[in-house]
Structure 1
């Protein structure tokens, strides 16, 4: 008796983003696919969501078992799955039995939006250098942000031989009493410690950095240290944006 949850093995592989269905059929016939540790070389085999599938000995995550979380990362927490020095990581915050990993990174002193998932294909899509999903930050720097610096940020700058694309600069507010400037930066790329390095270059050290949105996905209603499931339409929009189709 077959289950309504059963699907053909080659479809499960294709749905996981490993390759096309036709390529999956070739991999099966070549003996490179295992189901629950057993090599399968027939195309008619069907699998259930709980079955463990490997391609070239690498496990795949079936569509029904994929999870996507949006975390509001606190300060002092590493954006990694583990740490050899036993420091707190984002995985310690999200209570889930799946093997999760963060998409991209926020440094320890930066707070805000971070997506965690077990979907390798989705993670690769969002971090591929060919594609870019805009990320929005609220930045606070020591001192006053000159208009000339804002223009340079918009045009793009080079710091220590590294070129940074132009950024959108919005909602600039100078707080005279604290001698600080708060503003929004929207980036289309995400190089290591990009905002901190660029602002340091202009002698405007960052005192607070918070990412409040990744593409259309915002932290509205998600407090620091809290997380929620990504909604299906958010996953779809992020995928389309990453491909340049939205």
Structure 2
């Protein structure tokens, strides 16, 4: 079967399709012992693909895991500074990788898998999947600030899509809010809160679409249920 190299790599459990593209551009992939640095089409029945010198093959057993990521843990398979990663928390024999990312100082719901198609569905911008966060911020947003947050804010070189922010609790100069976005740009929630003058003190993701953290405690993980996997595949 002929398919794009990055899709084949994702099907083999190397990483998400986007991450696989990066790996290709970095010159870490060989097809039939020829270094590949651009997107190409391969034949999975004839071509031999190596990543970092190791032959890769499609994974038969698909793994789907939900982790409540602790703070001070890197959303990566490995870290050049030897900091703790999500794979130090989720220790299984199968090779898996995180879908999307949560910042070092953000906790909460993170999916890990070896299924490239599922990773693609959860991360592609066209799906516009809601992501819900609970944030502790400094001060209490005014009605005007809340409207600005909801309608879109200028951050770096882009304007955010419409979002939701709901005040849950106010105490001692801090405010607990529920924030819903469907984008996933770098440190977006923190930057949005900064933009309205209410910096984030603590941040936790509690939902991705219909996937909910529930009572899963920080640092704990579990396999997704059959219905949760079917939901993702239906996106």
How high is the TM-score relative to the length of structure 1? 0.73
Q: Check 1:161–1:32 CA distance in 2 against 1; reply closer, same or farther (3 A cut).
A: closer
Give the match for residue 33 of structure 1: 44
Shift of 1:171: 4.2
Q: For structure 2, list consecutive stretches of 5 or more residues without a partner in the other structure.
A: 9-41, 51-55
C-alpha distance in structure 1 between counterparts of 2:168 and 2:88, whole Å:
35
Q: Deviations over 1:127-149 (max 9, x none)?
A: 11222211110011011111111
Shift of 1:60: 4.7
- 1:88-237 map, 5 Å: 88-175=84-171, 178-237=172-231
Q: Deviations over 1:138-188 (max 9, x none)?
A: 01101111111111111111123321111122243221xx20111101111
Calculate the aligned-residue CA RMSD, in Å: 2.1
Is the aligned partner of 1:61 residue 2:58?
yes
C-alpha distance in structure 2 between counterparts of 1:204 and 1:220, whole Å:
27
Is the aligned partner of 1:80 residue 2:40?
no
SS at match of 1:65: coil
Give the match for residue 14 of structure 2: none
Conserved? CA contact 1:72–1:226, under 8 Å: yes
SS at match of 2:166: strand
Q: Check 1:239–1:32 CA distance in 2 against 1; reply closer, same or farther (3 A cut).
A: closer
How high is the TM-score relative to the length of structure 2? 0.76
Conserved? CA contact 1:74–1:112, under 8 Å: yes
Q: For structure 1, list consecutive stretches of 5 or more residues without a partner in the other structure.
A: 1-9, 19-30, 40-54, 242-246
C-alpha distance in structure 1 between counterparts of 2:188 and 2:48, whole Å:
37
Conserved? CA contact 1:126–1:239, under 8 Å: no
Q: Check 1:217–1:239 CA distance in 2 against 1; reply closer, same or farther (3 A cut).
A: same
C-alpha distance in structure 2 between counterparts of 1:68 and 1:107, whole Å:
21
